[in-house]
Structure 1
Amino acid sequence: MTIQTVTHLNFRGNAQDALTFYHSVFGGDKTCITYKDAHAVTNPDEADQVMWGQVVSADGFRIMACDVPSARPWNAGEIPVFVSVRGDNAEALTRYWEALSEGGAIVQPLGPFSYTPLYGMLKDRFGVTWVLDLAVEYAPG
């Protein structure tokens, strides 16, 4: 058996916008199923919100998201999770960084870091914290 882990982000009414944005950054295929599509509407005002959605790209990027219905508690919290994007192409990581940072806030500027020549942390315009780094073999010491 093989498995893979996928980051799943919870939103309150803007999952569609977030997935559209991540699709514009990473490309690939975007899928969104609304509560109406799934015949699972509990609040008519939320019928067009995302019950299940994802972005999957050929280079391995995958993220899932949904809108938490108003009948359930939800709190975005303060960096309860962050999405890590590791890759071996500094130019591609820099492009992702530039796109994700539009309208967001830089936590750690993209640049050399203790274990890698390229690392950065930012909070995007949807409040999601991202870490991007160049995957290199770790040399302790």
Structure 2
Amino acid sequence: MSIATTTHLNFRGTARQALEFYGAVFGGEVTLATYGDFGMPAGVPGADEIVFGQVENADGFRLMAYDIPGADDSDATAGTTSRENGMTITDRSFFQSLRADSLDELTGYWDALADGASIVEPLAASAWSPGFGMLTDRFGVTWVLDVRAAYAG
């Protein structure tokens, strides 16, 4: 069993530039996947924005990031984290990401963190992971939990 926690930064259309910058600063591999890569039709606004991005180097540095769906630098949403039209919308600048090797392992952490939490996205299979969920715990920390997938290394 192995888990890892990672800061997950949330951008409004600049995740690609930020991850490429951090990759240049810290070295390592930059992984980028767009909303279009996961089925959003080409030509739809935001299809070329980042739904999953990561910088990871051999020394253990890892940072994740994505572009908030439907948001750009000019947006200023009033809410904290919500689901609208099947997309997670947030004004928080980061999430704490927890990644496990198996769904069974992840479910144990999910169940514990969910006690007194507000569920943003229930733990379920997704296009990118056998298990993905998001919650805001009783202390106001938003957690993104997922099972390690092939692209995540």
| TM-score of the aligned structures, taking structure 2 as reference length | 0.46
Work out which of the two has the higher radius of gyration on C-alpha atoms and give 1 or 2.
1
